[in-house]
């Protein structure tokens, strides 16, 4: 079987940057396009960061389509406290060597799906605004999507409010439309991404690769500092690369099929992903939700992908 065709939708963001590099360094994936969304930082910053990361790893062949600068209905919430003013503070990397694709996110996704000989996995790892906008604009292309492997949500506590994880909190209406799309969804929520903490040992192992590995370790050193200051974590979770690994090596993620609903009405619990693990609601299952991660295999996969760059 050839490499799996994928599109990444990102809001770089340190962990988004690592997810992009992981996809580029994995022969098991064919990264067809990257689309950007406002989230960790404003759209101009997340787009600039995506272009810089692809330029750094020599993948200026991958088109980058800029998408939504605001959530569907809400005002934007960004995360400079975690990712810094630029959205990707830490080691300086060169400016981008290419420009965004003039089609923008929705039409770039549409054209990419139409041109692909086989269905494409969408891997959104920021607020789901672009994916919802695409599904609204091109329902006729849903059949060209093999799976949506998203980073977002939580079966338990949130990280932005006690109830909500950041990506779903920022645009809960978009997340609700994705979970209700009828497409196969794999949700890598905080329950599994918090098992992917890049501690000092993992960072030094990546640093030892040299080159891109050194840059990634530098990014993660910055990320470790903000995660320690804001959350008291001793290791910053590699949230977004887990959603990539779930497509690359599905066996790394243990999932349970269940119904997931997104709270959009309450101010107190806005953005909560209500995960019916035990099927008590009788609502139809609509997502494979990550409940366990093979942490060692995950970091081996990440290490091997970065070594190839």
Pick the closest to residue 302 from 236, 223, 254, 249 (CA basis): 249
CB of 211 to ligand RIB, least distance (A): 23
Residue 47 tokens read as: 């787009």
3-state secondary structure of 188: strand
Cβ proximity to ligand RIB: between 125 and 212 the closer is 125
Residue 40 sits in the site that holds ligand RIB (CB under 6 A):
yes
Burial 223-233 (b: 16+ CB within 10 A, else e): bbebbeeeeeb
Question: Does the annotation count 278 as an active-site position?
Answer: no
Cβ proximity to ligand RIB: between 110 and 179 the closer is 179
Residue 89 sits in the site that holds ligand RIB (CB under 6 A):
no
Residue 239 sits in the site that holds ligand RIB (CB under 6 A):
yes
Longest Cα separation, the chain: 52
3-state secondary structure of 31: strand
Query: Among the candidate windows 27-35, 65-73, 189-197, 232-240, which touches Ca ion by CB under 5 A?
Result: 232-240
Direct distance between the N- and C-terminal alpha carbons of the chain, in angstroms, rounded to an integer? 22
Query: Among the candidate windows 27-35, 122-130, 170-178, 204-212, which touches Ca ion by CB under 5 A?
Result: 122-130
Pick the closest to residue 172 from 132, 134, 124 (CA basis): 132
Cα 45 from Cα 255, distance rounded (Å): 33
| Residues 116-175 close enough to bind ligand RIB by CB under 6 A | 125-126, 151, 159, 165-167
Residue 226 sits in the site that holds ligand RIB (CB under 6 A):
no
CB of 239 to Ca ion, least distance (A): 7
CB of 149 to ligand RIB, least distance (A): 13
Binder among 13, 100, 218, 237 for Ca ion (CB under 5 A): 13
H or E element in which residue 5 lies: strand 4-10
Which positions lie near ligand RIB, rule CB under 6 A? Answer: 11, 13, 15-16, 39-40, 125-126, 151, 159, 165-167, 239-240
């Amino acid at each position: 079987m050839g490499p799996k065709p994928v599109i990444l939708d990102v809001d770089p963001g340190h962990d988004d940057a690592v997810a992009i590099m992981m996809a580029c360094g994995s022969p098991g994936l064919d990264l067809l396009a990257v689309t950007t969304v406002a989230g960790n930082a404003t759209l101009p910053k997340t787009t600039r960061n995506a272009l810089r990361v692809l330029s750094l790893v020599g993948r200026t062949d991958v088109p980058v389509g800029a998408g939504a600068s605001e959530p569907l209905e809400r005002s934007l919430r960004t995360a400079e406290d975690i990712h810094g003013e630029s959205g990707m503070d830490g080691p300086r990397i060169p400016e981008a060597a290419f420009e965004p694709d003039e089609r923008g996110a929705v039409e770039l996704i549409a054209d990419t799906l139409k041109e692909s000989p086989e269905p494409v996995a969408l891997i959104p790892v920021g607020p789901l605004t672009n994916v919802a906008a695409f599904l609204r604009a091109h329902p006729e292309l849903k059949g060209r999507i093999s799976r949506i492997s998203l980073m977002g949500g939580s079966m338990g506590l949130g990280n932005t409010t006690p109830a909500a994880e950041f990506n779903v909190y920022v645009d809960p209406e978009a997340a609700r439309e994705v979970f209700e799309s009828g497409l196969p969804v794999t949700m890598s929520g905080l329950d599994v991404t918090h098992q992917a903490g890049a501690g000092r040992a993992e960072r030094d192992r990546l640093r030892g690769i040299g080159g891109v590995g050194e840059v990634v370790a530098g990014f993660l050193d910055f990320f470790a500092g903000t995660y320690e200051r804001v959350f008291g974590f001793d290791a910053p979770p590699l949230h977004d690369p887990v959603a990539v690994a779930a497509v690359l090596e599905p066996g790394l993620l243990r999932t349970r099929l269940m119904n997931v609903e997104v709270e959009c009405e309450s101010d107190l619990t806005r953005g909560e992903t209500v995960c019916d693990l035990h099927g008590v609601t009788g609502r139809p299952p609509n997502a494979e939700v990550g409940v366990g991660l093979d942490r060692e295999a995950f970091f081996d996969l990440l290490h091997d992908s970065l070594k190839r760059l």
